[in-house]
Amino acid sequence: MADHHHRNVQGGGARAAVFGVSDGLVSNVSLILGMAGAHASAGNVRLAGLAGLVGGACSMAAGEYVSMRAQSELMQHELDVEREAIHHDPEVERRELATIYEHRGLEAELARELSAKMMSDPDLALETHAREELGFDPEETGQPLQAAGSSFLTFALGALVPLLPWLVASGLGATLWSVGLGAVGAVSVGAVLSHFTGRRWLWSAGRQLLIASGAAAVTFGIGHLVGVG
Ligand SMILES: [Zn+2]
């Protein structure tokens, strides 16, 4: 059907950004409402909110950097192994590629021809083996620093939302504003997420709101029980 439309199922960067905002929002609205539930002073809530923002953003960025770095190092290592194999045993690697093509349904003769063609140039051979055998594009082994920076910024953005009222107000007013902004933030994150998942936005927004308000209610309750004393 020529007019059908596919969503970008990869969409790694954008989707990671939405999750980053969601993480920042949920963890900081919970932290702030926990402090507010304990009737902490506005200064302490502000401090806790800022510490939650900076600490959380740093930890998200560090985690993203380490995991992307490890993944790209692993991919590089696999590429090096493959490059060596193609250099030392080109015929073995060609047969391997032909077998992959035959398993994809190509006739033996066509598979042999195509694999010979792909092996004719070392760079093309490596790229083909990476895609067909290792399952990744050798050009896309990830950018750890970029991913870490994006995680830091998106988490900080999400965490800033419930903190904003405490920069200008205090007490019950600031608490209610944090709840309101947190709810609007959660619904917005859910609506954006539905763009990736294809689910109805209302469903996705409702789920996000439920998760955020559940986490906030639990920490508010604990803060209220424990208090600042
Ligand atoms: Zn191979």
Distances (CA, A) of 178 to 22, 50, 210, 226: 15, 14, 16, 21
- The pLDDT value recorded for residue 45 is 96
pLDDT tier for residue 9 given thresholds of 50, 70 and 90: low
**59 CA distance to ligand 1 centroid (A)?**
37
User: What is the distance, to the nearest Å, from the Cα of residue 184 to the centroid of all Cα atoms in its chain?
Assistant: 21
Q: Give the residue-averaged pLDDT of 204-214.
A: 94
**116 CA distance to ligand 1 centroid (A)?**
13
**74 CA distance to ligand 1 centroid (A)?**
16
Amino acid letter, 162: P
- B/e letters for 76-85, b = 16+ CB within 10 Å, e = fewer, are eebbeebbeb
User: What residue spans of the chain are helical by DSSP H?
Assistant: 12-37, 42-88, 90-103, 108-119, 122-129, 144-168, 171-197, 201-226
Q: Are 24 and 156 in contact (CB under 8 A)?
A: yes
Query: Tens digit of pLDDT for each residue in 15-59?
Result: 788 889 999 999 999 999 999 999 899 999 999 999 999 999 999
Q: Are 186 and 26 in contact (CB under 8 A)?
A: yes
Q: Give the residue-averaged pLDDT of 68-74.
A: 93
The CA distance from 112 to 104, in Å, is 13
**85 CA distance to ligand 1 centroid (A)?**
7
Nearest to 36 by CA among 169, 183, 198: 169
- The pLDDT value recorded for residue 169 is 94
- The pLDDT value recorded for residue 228 is 76
**80 CA distance to ligand 1 centroid (A)?**
11
pLDDT tier for residue 142 given thresholds of 50, 70 and 90: confident
Nearest to 138 by CA among 62, 86, 196: 86
**124 CA distance to ligand 1 centroid (A)?**
12
**86 CA distance to ligand 1 centroid (A)?**
7
- The pLDDT value recorded for residue 18 is 87
Nearest to 115 by CA among 136, 131, 134, 101: 101
**105 CA distance to ligand 1 centroid (A)?**
19
